[in-house]
Amino acid sequence: MLVAVLVYLTTLLPVWAEDVVAGFSQDSISITTNFSGSEILIFGAVRREAPIARDTDLEVVVTVAGPSRPVTMRRKERFGGIWINRAFAHIDAAPTFYAVATSAPYRDAISSVSDVLYSISLPRAFRNVAGGADHASGFLEALARLRAEEGLYQINENSVDLREDTLFSTSIALPANLVEGDYLVRIFLTREGRVISAHENTIAVRKVGIERAAYRLANEQPLLYGFLALFIAIAVGWLVSALFRMIRA
């Protein structure tokens, strides 16, 4: 297997004269109390040291990955007249957000070998799937489906605008339910599905204002956060009760 990979990589050497120069419309995103989502424009150009004649088309693949978190998926089954959790699958690391954008149909833009080498497709982004389920793939499909419905997982084929094999751009929609952290953006140039150049950068997604203060308090001092939440709930209840008494009086 190692020999096959080395042979494959050596076939890429003649085309490394093409490289990526990329930029973002914003390199940080602030999550506030009224944050309703955002959109990031990813653009760039192909830098060449000299004109290169190619008989094959150049394609661009862009991925955006949020922080990974462990996930446990469970499936309810009817047992003795009640529904209980039976089969399960545990994923050590699943991206909280993942988007793939391509300039061509996915199968034309990236080969299966390059997908294995660079972990581009969504299934390659999952790490260490284990559990009591006979078919863990079913749980992965369920997780992908649920998060796709929330806008957290996206496969956007033919969404990268590539002009004259030089300039490219695409936009990625970021939903309101983003997880705070660094989002890794990777850009791949491919020919015949083989990666000839790769570029990566990060976008910082951070909570600000009251959202940031509450997040830090909940994570750094959970006991104090619990007492504060309880105090606020009691205070609001008392105020509402007092207001009703004033109205009735």
Question: What is the per-residue pLDDT for 133?
Answer: 47
Q: What is the mean pLDDT of the chain?
A: 81
Give 199-211 pLDDT, tens digit per residue.
999 999 987 766 5
Question: Does the structure show a pLDDT above 60 at 14?
Answer: no
Question: What is the per-residue pLDDT for 12?
Answer: 44
- If one counts every other C-beta atom within 10 angstroms of the C-beta of residue 63, the result is 23
- In Å, how far are 62, 76, 86, 217, 248 from 22, measured between CA atoms? 11, 46, 47, 37, 65
Query: Residues near 112 by Cβ (< 8 Å), separated by ≥ 6?
Result: none
Q: What is the pTM of this model?
A: 0.75
DSSP codes joined into one string, 48-83: ESS----SS-EEEEEEEE--EEEEEEEEEEEETTEE
CB 92 within 8 A of CB 136: no
Domain map of the chain by residue range? 2-207, 209-249
Architecture of the domain made up of 2-207: Sandwich (2.60)
Give 130-172 pLDDT, tens digit per residue.
654 455 667 888 888 999 999 999 999 999 999 988 899 999 9
Question: Does the structure show a pLDDT above 60 at 13?
Answer: no
Give 22-57 pLDDT, tens digit per residue.
889 888 888 887 888 899 999 999 988 766 656 678
Give 106-133 pLDDT, tens digit per residue.
999 999 999 999 999 998 888 766 654 4
The phi, psi pair for 28, rounded to 5°, reads -150, 150
Return the H-helix or E-strand segment holding 111: none
Torsion, Cα 72 78 81 82, to 10 degrees, reads 20
Percent of the chain scored above 90 by pLDDT? 41
